[in-house]
Each structure stands twice: as C-alpha cells, then as structure tokens.
Amino acid sequence: MGDTFVQAKVSPAMVRPQMSELTKIVKRATEEAGFDLAGIAPAADAAELKHFPEWIAAGRAGEMKYMQALDDQGDLKRASLARVAPWARSVVVCAINYNTTNPYSTEVHDSSRGWISRYAWSRDDYHDAVLRRLKQVEAALQQAVPADLQPALTTRSYVDTGPVVERVYAKYAGVGWIGKNTCIINQKKGSWLFLGVILTSLELAPDTPAPDRCGTCTRCIEACPTDAILAPYQLDSNKCISYLTIEKRGSIPEGLRAGMGRQVFGCDICQDVCPWNRKAPASAAPEFEPRPGLVNPALAWLAEMSAEEFRDVFRGSPIRRTKRSGLRRNAAVAMGNSGNKEFLPLLDQLAGDEDQSVSQCARWAKTRLAGSTE
Ligand code: B12
Ligand code: SF4
Ligand code: SF4
C-alpha cells in the first residue's frame, strides 16, 4: 500500500557535487543485482499523471480499491508523487525481463487447454524477485553516500504497491515508452518487463525520456478481444481480461465472458501481437522459468484442482491472488469458450458446485457449449 512520508532534511546543494558519481554507482548496482534496464527519472509530477484522476473518476479502476487510496488531504495518493513523497528528488526505475522461450498465446490452439499469462508461470512471485533486487540496489546506494549525509538520506523501494504510477516514471527514466496498449516497451527488449522503483531523496542525474515508437501501428487495439483499450494509451480495467481473471471477485459480468476466450489468469494478447515483441530476448534470470504444467495448461486440470493441490502447485506463485475459486471460475468460462463438447460432463458437475461464482459460470459455459457448432 502507498505510504506518506515526512520530508527528510536533505540539502540538494550538499549532494549535487556527488551526483554523477552516485548515479554511476547506482547504475552499476542495478546491473549487479540482475536488472536488464535501469534509469533515473526526476521525482517531479509528469504530464501523464494528470490523466490518473480522470481515469479513476471514470471508474476505469473497477473494484481495485487500492488504486483509489487517498492521502490526508483527500487527494489520490498515486496522482502526485511530489505531494505524497515531497522528500523524493529522484526515482530509480529498474526493469527485468521475464520472457522465456515459450510460445505466445496467439500461437497455441488446443481447445482443451487455456492460457496463463507469461508473467505468472515463474517459480517466484515477481514482487519478491524484483523487491529482492531493489533492496540490493538500495543497500549499495546507502553505502555509497558519505557518512555525514547518511542521516538525511531517505530511500523507499516499491514493486506495484507504492504511491507510484510506475510506467510514467519508467518512460522518463528512459527504460521504455508507454505503448498504446499502456505497457512499457523497450526498443531492444520488448515489453515482457517487470518494473520496480526506488524513491530517493538524492538528486541523481536524470536520463532522457524514451521516445514513443508506436507510430501508426494499432495492432494491440484491434487484437484486444474485449475492446478494453478504449483509445491509444487508455485502458478500461473493467473490460480487461487481466482484471477480470485476476482482480475481479465473485462472478464475471456475463457480457464479457465470451470475449475472455481461454484466458484463465491474466492476458498477453496486446503484447503478443506487438511488433516490438517479435524478437524479444529470453530472460537471464532462472526464477522466471515456468513451473511444470503452467504453459498452456489443461483446463480440466485447473477446474478439478483440489484445495490441497492448489496450495502445492501455486505455493509462492502470483496465481494465488485469484484464489482457487477464481481459477476454477475462469477455467469454467474458458471451457464454455473452447467449442470442445468433451467438457460438457465436467461442466455439469461444476454447475452444481457449492462456490456460486464457479457454478454460475459453469451453467453459462454449458449453455454456450451446447449451442456451439465447432
Ligand atoms: C492496476 C494495474 C493493472 C490493472 C490496470 C492496468 C492499467 N493499464 O492501468 C490491470 C489489472 C488491468 C493490469 C493488467 C496488466 N498488468 Co498491471 N499494474 C497495475 C499497477 C498496480 C498500477 C497501474 C496504474 O497505475 N494504472 C493507472 C492508469 C491510469 O495508468 P496507465 O494505464 O499506466 O496510464 C498511464 C498512461 O497511459 C498515461 N498516458 C500516456 N499518454 C497518454 C495519452 C492520453 C491521451 C491519455 C489519456 C493517457 C496517457 O496516463 C496514465 C497515467 O496517468 C501497475 C504497477 C504500478 N504501481 O504502476 C502494474 C503494472 C502496470 N502491470 C504490469 C503488468 C505486467 C500487467 C499485465 C501485462 C499482466 C498480464 N499479463 O495480465 C497486464 C497488462 C494489461 C495492459 N494492457 O496494461 C506491469 C507492466 C510492465 C510493463 N512492461 O509495462 C506493472 C508496471 C507491474 C510491475 N511492477 O511490473 N495491471
Ligand atoms: S491484457 Fe488482454 S484484455 Fe487487457 S487490454 Fe490487453 S488484450 Fe485487452
Ligand atoms: S501493438 Fe503497435 S500500437 Fe500497440 S503497443 Fe505495440 S507498437 Fe504500439
């Protein structure tokens, strides 16, 4: 969750002479920690942030309450870093590639199988994998600061949960541009990147913002099955399959179920079709290698998973976020969209499930499948 911090007594004049030396040390530390990309952004409020309150006001965050967290003055925490962390002078933005040499969701067509998004196959939850590395960089930064300045130094590391719209700072740190699908894309690495940020009271030398290289392309907007990308750079979470399969609790709005296809956790489509991911390199980090069975998983396996098996298979995995209930609900929807009538007996069984969100989606899936001509 976002925090509000008291301004630390740091005198920018005191640190400026060491700025370039410290910047070099930080950059080296990000490499040593295993990040693929890193850059420095000023902690100022960037122009893109003015869209954030509009986005919240339009209800685009759906039920994600943490996105709507307010500070003591009643303002949205994430709308202004200058307000919520006035002591911060620089944001160190780090990115790590999580891509592996496995197919894209747009390349697999077995109707008995579903899709778990690429980022969630890994052995470690990315929050842990990224935070561990950020802490290493943070420690190097703290060590590099002269002893007399250390009492005035404040640093905070975040992956997702800080009061920071990470992609905006990633752009200004030169890590990548914000694509029309709203993801950060790097010219060499593509967009299979996790981001992490370190806020610091130090003034470090900022990088140049990454230029937008989407050009006239609109592939992601056209490929999105639920029309969740309302316009370039504008995503409605309520319609996004990633939100529906991971964040949405209870049942899934009926009108959106058909568009979900066979996605059971997250969605990669708007990145799979992006030309900048055509030659995306594989990650060097071993912890992003997939767990067995998660690349293009069997839908029946997921739908029939006992509580015990769910615990075993997904121990320490980001998939725990949707819980067993969410995963089985999503698998039921996916079976309904599969056109594969072999799922009818299993859906019959799930239609009587004690979990309402599962039984509701299974009943819908049965009807859809029975009427399917595939
Ligand atoms: C909430 C959230 C979601 C939500 C909402 C996504 C969204 N687009 O906002 C949901 C659940 C849908 C989601 C899905 C995914 N997420 Co997410 N998510 C977040 C989180 C926690 C906050 C994002 C946020 O603040 N959104 C608010 C909106 C307003 O911001 P935005 O869409 O980025 O919009 C900015 C720009 O578009 C900009 N803008 C720029 N130019 C223009 C021009 C105009 C005209 C306008 C209007 C706006 C505009 O304005 C906005 C800022 O105010 C971040 C972590 C973090 N703390 O930042 C991770 C994060 C963005 N997610 C991430 C990932 C990996 C994903 C998924 C790929 C997971 C998956 N495979 O299912 C999908 C991708 C879907 C997509 N196309 O974005 C990564 C992205 C890495 C990257 N390369 O960009 C992040 C950074 C997590 C991390 N630490 O690595 N996510
Ligand atoms: S993640 Fe999927 S549903 Fe969400 S915007 Fe991208 S293609 Fe659309
Ligand atoms: S698919 Fe095209 S428009 Fe969409 S993010 Fe990639 S380059 Fe940009």
Query: Buried b vs exposed e over 113-122: b needs ≥16 C-beta within 10 Å?
Result: bbbbbbbbbb
Q: Ligand 3 centre and the CA of 164: distance in Å?
A: 24
Return the SS3 of 279.
Answer: coil
Question: DSSP per residue over 78-141, as a string?
Answer: GG-HHHH-TT--EEEEEEEE---S---GGG---TTB-EE-GGGSBSS-HHHHHHHHHHHHHHHH
Amino acid at 214: C
Q: Which of 52, 158, 167 to mutate to test the pocket of ligand 1 (most atoms within 8 A of CB)?
A: 167
pLDDT truncated to tens, each residue of the chain (374 aa)?
Answer: 333 322 334 444 444 547 889 999 999 999 999 999 999 999 999 999 999 999 999 999 999 999 999 999 999 999 999 999 999 999 999 999 999 999 999 999 999 999 999 999 998 899 999 999 999 999 999 999 988 888 899 999 999 989 999 999 999 999 999 999 999 999 999 999 999 999 999 999 999 999 999 999 999 999 999 999 999 999 999 999 999 999 999 999 999 999 999 999 999 999 999 999 999 999 999 999 999 999 999 999 999 999 999 999 999 999 999 999 999 999 999 999 999 999 999 999 999 999 999 999 999 999 999 887 65
Q: Which of 104, 178, 182, 283 to mutate to test the pocket of ligand 1 (most atoms within 8 A of CB)?
A: 182
Helices and strands: H and E segment counts in the chain: 15, 10
Q: Is the CB of 214 under 6 A from ligand 3?
A: yes
User: What stretch of H or E contains 158?
Assistant: strand 155-158
Q: Which of 171, 177, 178, 181 to mutate to test the pocket of ligand 3 (most atoms within 8 A of CB)?
A: 181
List, in sequence order, every residue forming a beta bridge with 156; answer none if it has no partner.
Answer: 199
pLDDT at 149: 84
Q: Is the CB of 229 under 6 A from ligand 2?
A: yes
Sheet holding 37-42, edge to edge: 37-42, 90-97, 193-200, 155-158
**Residue of the CA atom closest to atom 1 of ligand 3:** 274
User: What stretch of H or E contains 234?
Assistant: strand 234-235
Its pTM stands at 0.95
Q: Is the CB of 241 under 6 A from ligand 2?
A: yes
If we measure between CA atoms, which residue out of 98, 199, 186 comes closest to residue 158?
199
If we measure between CA atoms, which residue out of 181, 184, 180, 189 comes closest to residue 166?
184
Catalytic annotation, residues:
160
pLDDT at 13: 42
Tokens for 300? 């029946």
CA 120 – CA 172 distance, rounded (Å): 27
Q: Ligand 3 centre and the CA of 311: distance in Å?
A: 37
Tokens for 96? 């790590």
CA 331 – CA 347 distance, rounded (Å): 10
CA 179 – CA 174 distance, rounded (Å): 13
